[in-house]
Amino acid sequence: MKIERTIQVAVAENCALGESPVWDDQQRCLHFVDILSNKIYTYWPDDETSQVTQLDEMVGAIVPTKNLGFLAALPSGIYRLNLPGGTPQILVQPEPGNLENRFNDGKADSSGRLWIATMAQSEQQGLGNMYVVYPDLTFKMVLEKTTISNGLDWSEDDKYFYHVESDDAQIRRFDYEKLQGGILGKTTVVEFPDEEGVPDGMTIDSEGMLWVAHFGGGCVTRRDPSNGEILEKIELPVKQVTSCVFGGEDLNDLYITTASKGLSDSELAYQPQAGYTFVIKNLPFTGRPANKFG
C-alpha cells in the first residue's frame, strides 16, 4: 500500500549525510546529525526553528542519556554533551588507536546500554565491529567484521534484535539476550533487490513493524519482520534516504533524513532537496520513545 500523505520539509539544509534522527521528548524537538559536516541539528517543530551544534570531528550517531544529555559517537571515541550547543567530554573509546574507522549507527537498549558499530571510513569490507557499552563504561564486542552497520532496534518484548548490514543489503534478526546484552543466532528477514536501493537507518513502530530507509531507492517502507512483506511505502522527492524516527507529541509524525553526498550537478538539479530532513505528520501509526543510556 502506498501512503498518500503530505510530505513536508522540516529542515531545508542540503546535508551531505543526514543520519541518526532522535526525538527528544524533554525539549519537544528533533536532533539529527550530518556526519560528513561534523554537525548536529536541533529542530523545534512548534516554531519551525533550528540550531546547529558544530563539532571538530564527524559524528556518526547521537543517543539520549538518562541525565538529559546525549552521547555523540566521534571517530576518537564516545563523548557526552548537552544539546544544542554543548561541549563534548570523552567517556570511552572501544577501538583506541584505530582512526581509520569511524562510528556509524547506534542506539540504547531498554536496559540503558549503548549499541554502536564502527566502519572503515573507506567503506572497505569487513573492517567494522559492533560493541555494547555498559553504563559503567565497560564494553564488549558483539559482532565482528561488519562493513556498513546501519539500522538497529529491538522488538517490543525484547525477544529479538534487528540489524541492517547495508553492504549486502540485508536485515537480520538475532535472538536477544537481555540480561547481559548479547545476541545469538542469525536469520535474514529481508533481502533488498538492486531496484529497491540499499537498506539504511531503521525504526520499529508500536505494532512491531520495521520502518526502513532505502538509500538510493527514494522511499521508506514499513515491513513485517516475520516475512519481509512491504505493508506501506512512502516515496520521497530525493533518492538517498538515510533514516527515520517517529516524533511529535503522540509519536505519530515520521521524520526522515536524507543525503546529498556523491550526487552530480545534474542529479542535484533533478533533486534539489537532497539532504533535506522531511516529516509526514499524523500517520495512523505510532513509534516508541527512545531508549536512554545510563
- In Å, the largest CA–CA distance within the chain is 52
Query: Is 200 among the catalytic positions?
Result: yes
| Cβ–Cβ under 8 Å, residues 90 and 133 | no
Query: Of the residues 200, 224, 250, 265, which is catalytic?
Result: 200
Give the closest residue to 22 by CA, choosing from 153, 155, 207: 153
Q: What is the separation of C-alpha 152 from the centre of its chain, rounded to a whole number of angstroms? A: 8
Sign, CA torsion 195/199/204/207: positive
Q: What angle do CA 160, 287, 284 make, to 5 degrees?
A: 125
The verdict on whether omega for the bond into residue 84 sits within 30 degrees of 0, i.e. cis, is: yes
Active site residues: 200
